A and B are shown apart, each in its own frame.
Chain A
Amino acid sequence: MIEALLAVTFVSSLVVFAAPDRVAGKLAALLSLAPLAGSLWLYTAFDGSGNALLPDGDLAFETMATWLSIGDLAVNWHVGLDGVSLPLVVLTTLLTTLAIVSAWTPIDERQSQFYGLVLFMEAALLGVFSALDFFLWFVFWEAVLVPMYFLIGVWGGPRRKYAAIKFFVYTNVASLLMFIGVIALVFALPVESFGLPEIAQSLRAGELGSLAGIQPGTLEVLAFFAIFVGFAVKVPVVPFHTWLPDAHVEAPTPASVLLAGVLLKMGTYALLRFNFTMMPGVAQDYVYLIAAVGVVSVIYGAMLALAQQDLKRIVAYSSVSSMGYVILGLVALTPFGLGGATFQMVSHGLISGLLFMTVGVIYNTTHTRMVGDMSGLADRMPFTVGVFVAGAFAYMGLPLMSGFAAEVFIFLGAFDAFAGAPWFTAAAMFGIVIVAGYLLFAMQRSLFGPFRLETDYEVGRAPLHDVVPLVVLVATIVLLGVFPELIFDMITDAVTALSGGVA
């Protein structure tokens, strides 16, 4: 099934590449409905249980075939979904479709390439979330970089080339570091393949040997941090976050949507799968360090957002902040912490996607994103601003929207997770005040008050196809906020086995 999903998406991307620019957008939206419908079908037909990497895991839609072997180690085509990956798969397909629709207005050149790249990226992202073999996963993981590089570089803002190359090289360095860490582990383990379940189970069983004269204990810690830093760049976590604002500001809106909505989740997803599933012991030994990193990301990211004038930059930094919660939830290693972190991935994907899209819609008409350049937009674009307000409040963690559920889950999970955890949690929670601060200030200055616009464009209501994706996202956010069980059940089912760290 997953193969079909990947194949359809990939072929769609080729079809769109070949399509004329005029119809590419519509065609891409139409074609992207197939993976969306497919992933929703996967959701309804999901029959897995447990964690994909652990012995209790009973995967849904699993397939496995030998691809090649490197020495004694097999590289397999091994895909499957569990409660953690399925929601992310659905998130990916949903956001891609919406991002494509939202691109109709702003993307006015080289459309077929744009939409082809988006669909190509979707295929790679689906692969990332479903692959269960390290090499296979890594192929998809790196493959995501290529379309994103072009999306930023070709269709981006004035400093797009700088931003694109920074994103490209920075995340690539991180991947390499992570690769070294994982491979060092693999060779110190008595495993027969690069299968993530096998690696995880062997590591958890304490079968790590030594490598190149490095003792198992040291090796595990070194590998843990190599991998952690590798993913931390992707997440991104302070102090590895500086590529993100540049990338976001320069990227065209639909790319920002996918960047914030899905690409960042790759990092946290991988952290969950690798660091916290495979080496919970190390995570527990360094819990203060990791929790501190999470807390600093939350507060520092929020403080940075407070200082920004560019709406996109604000949302970008707030993503850093939001991802800090995920780190905190993960390191808690409790059902609610891990579940909340995963839930936050989905939730933040939707909410940041929503905000970026809204900023994009505003930009489409005003041609500026600077807070000081406009005011009183609510007067001219009531629906868009309404959605913006909804999105902003979702970001602030308004109850009955998914952001609140995610944050509360994380806080509940983290509060009593380890000695001193209340302090860390309470410190991180202060983020909910700062986030309210910067979003409210930005909204007040740009959306409310008397209408004024520095750029002298005629501002009218946004076209319907700009607004529909926003409404769909708001609806989804509220749906998940009111009924988090829709996905939280399967998430907790998959992460509960991880709680408490080493068994």
Chain B
Amino acid sequence: MATIGEIAPAIALLPLASFAVALASVVFAPRLLQKGGAIPGILATAGSLVLSVWAFVHVGGGEPIEQELLAWAAAPDSFELTLGVLIDPLAALMLVIVSLVAFLVHVFSLGYMNAEGETGLHRYYAELGLFTFSMLFFVMADNILMAFMFFELVGLCSFLLIGFWFREEAPASAAKKAFLVTRFGDYFFLVGVVGIFAAFGTGRFVGSEGFPHLAEEAIAEGHEILGMSPETGVMVLGLLVLGGVIGKSAQFPLHTWLPDAMEGPTTVSALIHAATMVAAGVYLVARMFGFYALSPTLLAIIALVGGFTALFAATMGVVKDEIKQVLAYSTISQYGYMMLGLGAGGYVAGTFHLMNHAFFKALLFLGAGSVIIATHHTHDMWKMGGLKEKLPVTYYTFLAGSLALAGIVPFSGFWSKDEILYESIVHGLGTDGGLGVLLLLAFAFGLLAVFFTGFYTFRMVALTFHGEPRTEVAEDAHGVGWSVKLPLIVLGVLATVAGLVNMAPLDVEYLHSWLDTTEEAGLLTSAHHYEEVLHDVAHVEAATLTPIATAAVSLGLALAGALAAWRLYGSDPQPHTDRLGSIKELVGNNYYQDEYQVWLAEGVTLPLSRAADTFDQVVVDGVVDGVSSVSLFSGRRIRRIQSGIVSNYVALLTAGLVVLLVTFAFMGGWF
């Protein structure tokens, strides 16, 4: 009997197999597979889930799983590039989350996609399989190059899935934008990856041979990194990698792709936002937290970007009319929280929120999907209303997710969000210098965002489910099948209770100790190790402050937001946001972030490329053609010598001879 340590790669390879099966069936036997290829996908993700749980249990025994998969490339006296599997507590946790969400999304898709008579289902399931495969290997990656590779593949799959309905303009455009914007971030990531290899000779995440530890040593011993001081070197490399994170996790200013990505099927949105693509960015920060923890500047930037994004996105969520748009901005905002938590040194807090968010956001998206099916593909919340009675299961689970999102006690989101805020304020108060100040600023952003979160969440709930049905489709909403309900229920339960694993204010810290499980194995990825690094290298100090205080403030703000929304939209909702005037314009247009980015692409880059093209045609090619024109022109001149009159020939001949004679007479000194 094989152990999980040996068959760990199968966690990711199973979905790949389902991809292959689905792809093969597209090509060779479109009618062979029932349900458009869903079955292999469900089986594969179920298998992944089982194996992930097995791995989780195994890791819980204190022994991480490490296995080299493939010697990818190597050169003598140079780097060895390998693909390997690493499952430590963080990875094990994430594996379970990803495979669970993926499994549930596959199941949900049976109701969402299949029931709606979509075409191209094989393609859909093939892409889902590839997506899951990529994400699972990304999670298990034991080095940063492998992480980058699967990070990119995740990007590809998101492109394919967002553009699933390629026959329409908008999804194709959104898919392009998603890939392009994240590619922009990945550019920095790749530079960072290459830089890390160049600086440390390895891309390993963990252990004393891993680059975070090597960087730590370099700082301790004052070795230069790539010709820079070690602190600067770490900061630069960290920032570069952060570029990829900001792109994938849709942080400001590279968040613009995410709302557009709503053009994809809602199931895909659930997968992308909850557990795969967007999560990948934050997961990467957590994965190499040992590196980020080395530089206070990096921490400050992460926290600030996170905090700002949390607030920034939350304000935009307030004015959106489409249910998926609201969820999209909430995703951006929530990932901002995670970044804030990690930047504030709250490794556990950030991870915790990542987990909780995966559950409740998957739940919310699937819930939204359920609403959308029920209302015959209506997205606009103003055309809904009063769905509570028609879709009870959806309503209650959606409500659970919303409470978690808004951070209302005791739903999961509350615990993790609170922990993030707590970590940022204590570290902000306790740490000297710029980092402390910036952390406090980030905290302020985060805290303010809590109010908006509560507001838009309950605005959404109210508009969708409460009040009277505002249109015929809302009137006619039909029920949904078991394949829709089952995932909702599972996720609803999880969204409600997942928070209980780490109730920091109550000193229940199972997650924290879980992340310390394999401390003995020398991976240097334990929460405990990170705390030491934060303290010793980045000089992050914690002030004493009771957790109850922040919890109370944030809960209060969340409730305030929720109640405000309830008052405004609870019954007989009006488009109150119109009263905001120019602010509504500003926020409604997403602060013109899209516009300037589109302008950068189409207003700057494209004209620049056209100018380059003109330059190329006129100048560079002009020189080439000019050389030939000049040659032919001189040819035409030269042939004119041949006048056709023999007397002229004689004259020229004689003249030539005389010239030669005179020349040589002078040179030879004949006179």
Contact = CB atoms under 8 A, between A and B. Distances in A.
Nearest to A305: B609
Interface in A40-70: none
A335 B226 contact: no
Contact of B616 (A170, A242, A482): A242
Nearest to A405: B73
Given A303-B612, A415-B197, A496-B76, A449 B166 contact: yes
B585 to A, nearest CB: 29
A158 interface: no
A488 B166 contact: no
Main secondary structure of the interface of B (DSSP, over half): helix
Contacts of A373: none
B183 interface: yes
Contacts of A393: 156
24 contacts: A242-B620, A300-B612, A303-B608, A306-B605, A307-B610, A336-B79, A405-B73, A411-B190, A411-B194, A416-B226, A425-B194, A429-B191, A433-B183, A434-B605, A436-B180, A440-B180, A441-B176, A444-B173, A444-B176, A450-B168, A485-B72, A492-B74, A492-B75, A492-B76
A21 interface: no
B472 interface: no
Contacts of B616: 242, 300, 304
Interface in B196-229: 197-199, 226-227
Interface string A412-455: 11011001001001100110111011001101100111110000
B75 A335 contact: yes
Interface string A473-502: 000000000111100100011001001000
B71 interface: yes
B148 interface: yes
Contacts of B195: 415, 422
B73 A409 contact: yes
B508 interface: no
A340 to B, nearest CB: 9
B145 A437 contact: no
Contacts of A422: 195, 198, 226
B190 A166 contact: no
A243 interface: yes
- Among A306, A378, A379, max chain B CB count under 10 A is at A306
Contacts of B74: 485, 492
B552 interface: no
Interface in A327-343: 334-336, 339
Contacts of B176: 440-441, 443-444
B613 interface: yes
Interface size class of A (residues with CB under 8 A): 35 or more
- Among A334, A436, A483, max chain B CB count under 10 A is at A436
A376 interface: yes
Contacts of B643: none
B612 A304 contact: yes
Interface string B72-99: 1111111101000000000000000000
A217 interface: no
A335 B187 contact: no
Per CB-CB distance, the 8 closest pairs between chain A and chain B, nearest first, are A399-B149, A448-B172, A335-B75, A307-B613, A306-B609, A416-B198, A242-B621, A492-B75
B606 A307 contact: yes
Contact of A308 (B180, B198, B613): B613
B191 A426 contact: yes
Given A436-B183, A444-B173, A170 B624 contact: yes
A450 B169 contact: yes
Contacts of A441: 176
Given A308-B613, A429-B194, A485-B73, 19 more contacts: A238-B620, A242-B620, A300-B612, A303-B608, A303-B612, A412-B194, A413-B78, A415-B198, A419-B227, A433-B180, A448-B167, A448-B169, A448-B171, A449-B167, A449-B168, A449-B169, A450-B169, A485-B71, A485-B72
Contacts of A334: 78
A66 B156 CA distance: 55
Given A399-B148, A405-B73, A448 B163 contact: yes
